[in-house]
Structure formats: structure tokens, C-alpha cells
């Protein structure tokens, strides 16, 4: 993991919506885009557009925090906390 | 003015007829030959005089990319209501139906999303107050 990877991770974490998506994916792995949108609306009472969620997911994917798999012909998203742990070991821990 | 019919675009009408009747449990209302295809509608046995669901051939060239894009994002083509979603989910799983979304609470509803084997995802909901 290099500085670019760390940048992607901290950038991905630097947004409350993306942190909420991470929380929800941890509780309930394997969500479609529809499910992420529906759950976000149900829990926060505000709608997120499909485009907005897609952009958030792209950033989380770039940071390696979200993995995409296929269930039939549907894209399914899950959390991968591995890069978070690496980021802790590599840099955060120095200051804890 | 009343809504008497609504439709899902199905890849194959015979296959759809099997899925929507044998698996989901709807009853045929109209099955009228129309050249290559049929005017094929089903109704809920709980409400046989209610709105019909037209199993419409997805013939138009724009239908396929539209349906594919919806399925990719997990977006249901339409939604049906049930009284007990968890028992319905168990029943459909035992019949081999695949789900892109297991039972989930979302505000006033509890929902699942299933694959109709004809190119669509279908949402089932239970109103939690009911």
C-alpha cells in the first residue's frame, strides 16, 4: 500500500454518505444499487439519486473498500475492510 | 378513468405464464392469440376482478437494453403486495426462485426482490401496519 492508496482510502472516508454506506454494507453484505438506495432512504428519510450512489460506490471501490460481484445479472456490493486495517497499520497507528 | 391493466415485458410468454401462475400463484384472465404472440393477462386469485397484469412480449429493440440495465442495478420492474412476506419468501425459495434481495425493512414496508426468469426483477412488499 502506497501514499496513493492511502489517499483513496481517506478520501473515500471523508464523506458522511459514504461512511453510512460502509456501515450498512457491514450490517448487510451483498447489496444491489437499488437496495443501497432503498436502505439509505429508509434509514435517513432522504433520497439519494442513483447517480449519486453510483459515484460514491465508485470512490469506495477505488479505495478497495467495496467489492462488486454478480448475482445472476445483478451487480452486488460488499464491504472489504482489509484496506482499512492496512491503513491503520501503515499510518494511523503511529498516532494512536 | 380506471387502471385495468399494467404490464411486465417478458422474454418468453410461455415461460412467463408458468412462472407467474405456477410459481407466483396468479390465475390466467385472458389468453387471446394475436399472431405471433398472445394477449396474455393474469390476476390475483385474491382479487380476480382486480387490475390485470399483462405478460407483454419484450419485442421492441429498446426493451432488451432497458431491462438489462434495470436488472444490473437491482431495480424491480414492478411490485406486488403480500400479507406475510417472510412466509412467502420461504415458499418461493423452496420452489427454487432466486432473490437479489432478501427480506429487508425499509420504512413502512418489508420487501424482497426476486428474479422472474423472464428478464425482470420483481419486488414483493408487505405493509408493516397490515
Instruction: Please give the radius of gyration of chain B, using alpha carbons only, rounded to the nearest integer.
Output: 15
CB contact under 8 A, A75 and B111: no
Q: What is the pLDDT of residue B54?
A: 98
For residues A39 and A31, is the Cβ–Cβ distance under 8 A?
yes
| C-alpha dist (Å) from residue A94 to A6, A89, A91 | 14, 8, 6
Indicate if the pLDDT at residue B130 is higher than 80: no
> For the whole model, what pTM was predicted?
0.92
Q: What is the pLDDT of residue B121?
A: 98
For residues A95 and A6, is the Cβ–Cβ distance under 8 A?
no
CB contact under 8 A, A28 and B104: yes
Question: Residue B61, class by beta-carbon neighbours within 10 Å (0-12 exposed, 13-18 middle, 19+ buried)?
Answer: exposed
Percentage above 70 pLDDT, chain B: 99
Chain B environment of A33 (Cβ under 8 Å): 73-75
CB contact under 8 A, B73 and A76: no
> A34-44, pLDDT tens digit by residue?
999 999 998 88
Chain B environment of A74 (Cβ under 8 Å): 71-74, 100, 121
For residue A93, the 8-state DSSP code is G
ipTM of the prediction: 0.89
Q: What is the pLDDT of residue A38?
A: 93
> B51-102, pLDDT tens digit by residue?
999 999 999 999 999 999 999 999 999 999 999 999 999 999 999 999 999 9
Question: Residue B34, class by beta-carbon neighbours within 10 Å (0-12 exposed, 13-18 middle, 19+ buried)?
Answer: exposed
pLDDT band with cut points at 50, 70 and 90 for residue A7? very high
Chain B environment of A32 (Cβ under 8 Å): 73-75, 100-101, 113
Domain count, chain A: 1
Q: Mapping DSSP to helix (H, G, I), strand (E, B) and coil, where does residue B130 land?
A: coil
pLDDT band with cut points at 50, 70 and 90 for residue A45? confident
Q: What is the pLDDT of residue A1?
A: 83
Q: What is the pLDDT of residue B3?
A: 97
Chain A environment of B72 (Cβ under 8 Å): 73-75
Q: What is the pLDDT of residue A96?
A: 87
Cell of A46: 432522504
The CA distance from A61 to A55, in Å, is: 10
pLDDT band with cut points at 50, 70 and 90 for residue A95? very high
For residue A92, the 8-state DSSP code is G
Among A34, A50, A72, select the one facing B98 at the smallest CB separation: A72
**Whole domain around residue A77: which residue ranges?**
3-95
Q: What is the pLDDT of residue A27?
A: 94
Mean pLDDT of B33-50: 97
Helices (H), chain A: 3-13, 16-27, 33-44, 50-62, 82-90
| C-alpha dist (Å) from residue A90 to A6, A27, A95 | 9, 26, 11
Instruction: Please give the radius of gyration of chain A, using alpha carbons only, rounded to the nearest integer.
Output: 14
CATH code (residue A51): 1.10.10.10
The CA distance from B70 to B58, in Å, is: 14
For residues B128 and B110, is the Cβ–Cβ distance under 8 A?
yes
Mean pLDDT of A2-31: 95
Q: Which residues contact B32 (CB under 8 A, 6 or more apart)?
A: B38, B39, B40
Amino acid at each position: 500500500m502506497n501514499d496513493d492508496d492511502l489517499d483513496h482510502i481517506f478520501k473515500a472516508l471523508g464523506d458522511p454518505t459514504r461512511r453510512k454506506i460502509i456501515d450498512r454494507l457491514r450490517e448487510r453484505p451483498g447489496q444491489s444499487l437499488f437496495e443501497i438506495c432503498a436502505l439509505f432512504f429508509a434509514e435517513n428519510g432522504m433520497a439519494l439519486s442513483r447517480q449519486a450512489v453510483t459515484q460514491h460506490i465508485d470512490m469506495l471501490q477505488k479505495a478497495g473498500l467495496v467489492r462488486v460481484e454478480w448475482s445472476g445479472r445483478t451487480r452486488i456490493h460488499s464491504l472489504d475492510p482489509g484496506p482499512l486495517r492496512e491503513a491503520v497499520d501503515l499510518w494511523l497507528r503511529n498516532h494512536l | 378513468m380506471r387502471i385495468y391493466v399494467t404490464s411486465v415485458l417478458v422474454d418468453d410468454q410461455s415461460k412467463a405464464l408458468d412462472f407467474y401462475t405456477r410459481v407466483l400463484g396468479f390465475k390466467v384472465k385472458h389468453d387471446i392469440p394475436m399472431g405471433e404472440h398472445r394477449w396474455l393477462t393474469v390476476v390475483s386469485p385474491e382479487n380476480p376482478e382486480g387490475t390485470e397484469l399483462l405478460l407483454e412480449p419484450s419485442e421492441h429493440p429498446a426493451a432488451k437494453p432497458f431491462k438489462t440495465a434495470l436488472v444490473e442495478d437491482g431495480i424491480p420492474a414492478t411490485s406486488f403486495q403480500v400479507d406475510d412476506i417472510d412466509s412467502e419468501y420461504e415458499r418461493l425459495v423452496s420452489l427454487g426462485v432466486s432473490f437479489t434481495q432478501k427480506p429487508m425493512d425499509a420504512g413502512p414496508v418489508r420487501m424482497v426482490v426476486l428474479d422472474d426468469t423472464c428478464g425482470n426483477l420483481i419486488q414483493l412488499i408487505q405493509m408493516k401496519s397490515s
